[in-house]
Homo-oligomer: A and B are copies of this chain.
Amino acid sequence: MKFNNRNIYVSSKSKIGRSVKIGDNSAIYDNVEIGDNSIICNDTVLGEPLHAYYHATNYVNPTTIIGPDSLVRSHSIIYAGCTLGAGFHSGHRVTIRENTIIGIHCSIGTLSDIQGNAKIGDYCRLHSNVHLSQKSVLGDFVFMYPYSVLTNDPHPPSEDIKGGLIGDYTQVGVHAVVLPGIRVGENCLIGANSVVNKNIEDFSLAMGDPIKVVMDIRKYIVLGKGKPYPWMSRFDRGMPWEGMGYDNWILQGAKK
Contact = CB atoms under 8 A, between A and B. Distances in A.
Interface of A: 1-2, 4, 6-7, 9, 11, 24-25, 27, 29-30, 39, 42-43, 45, 47-49, 53-54, 61, 71, 74-75, 77, 91-93, 95, 110-111, 113, 115, 125, 128-129, 131, 133, 143, 145-147, 149, 151, 155-159, 171, 173-175, 177, 179, 189, 192-193, 195, 208-209, 222, 225, 228-229, 231, 234-235, 237
B149 A131 contact: no
13 contacts: A45-B74, A75-B77, A75-B93, A93-B93, A95-B111, A111-B113, A115-B128, A133-B146, A155-B228, A155-B229, A157-B235, A159-B237, A177-B193
Given A1-B49, A92-B77, A128-B113, A149 B174 contact: yes
A9 B9 contact: no
In terms of DSSP, what is the predominant structure of the interface of chain A? loop
Contacts of A91: 95
Contact of A146 (B149, B158, B222): B149
A155 B231 contact: yes
Given A2-B29, A45-B42, A192-B177, A156 B128 contact: no
Given A1-B61, A113-B129, 10 more contacts: A1-B30, A1-B53, A91-B95, A95-B111, A111-B111, A146-B151, A156-B189, A158-B234, A158-B235, A193-B195
B147 A156 contact: no
Contact of A145 (B71, B74, B156, B189): B156
A177 B177 contact: no
Residue among A39, A48, A113, A171 with the highest chain B CB neighbour number at 10 A: A113
List the 3 shortest-distance A-B pairs measured between CB atoms, nearest first: A155-B228, A1-B29, A157-B235
Given A74-B77, A131-B147, A159-B237, A27 B42 contact: yes
A50 to B, nearest CB: 11
A92 B95 contact: yes
Contacts of A155: 222, 225, 228-229, 231
